């Protein structure tokens, strides 16, 4: 039986509520438990991306990035679905 993904969304309109720090630490903790983790930085300030130094580590994960690019349409559909569900909460 194929295991479904678990979606965790951390949302708060107010600034300064440790959203980025919480997401970063949660992602790191789950990855240390050998879970597959996809963190999506939807913030226009790109704080999570900058914090994780994504531009510096992307060469390490080139195969993963190439795989993501190959499936970007599918990933976008998933993102749209998630955002639609969040807007109903």
pTM for the structure as a whole: 0.57
Categorize the per-residue pLDDT at 86 as very low, low, confident or very high, splitting at 50, 70 and 90. low
pLDDT, position 26: 92
Report pLDDT digits (tens) over 48-80: 888 887 655 555 556 666 776 777 777 777 777
Burial (CB count within 10 angstroms: exposed 0-12, middle 13-18, buried 19+), residue 20 = buried
Q: Tell me how far apart the alpha carbons of residues 41 and 38 are, in angstroms, rounded to a whole number.
A: 10
Neighbours of 52 (CB within 10 A): 17
Q: Which of 83, 64, 68 is nearest to 7 (CA)?
A: 83
- Percent residues over pLDDT 70 in the chain: 81
């Amino acid at each position: 039986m194929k295991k479904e993904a678990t979606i965790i969304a951390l949302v708060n309109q107010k600034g300064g509520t440790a959203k980025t720090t919480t997401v970063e630490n949660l992602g790191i903790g789950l990855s240390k438990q050998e879970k597959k983790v996809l963190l999506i930085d939807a913030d226009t300030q790109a704080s999570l991306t900058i914090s994780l130094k994504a531009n510096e580590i992307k060469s390490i994960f080139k195969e993963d990035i190439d795989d993501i690019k190959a499936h970007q349409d599918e990933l976008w559909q998933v993102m749209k679905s998630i955002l639609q569900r969040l807007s109903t909460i």
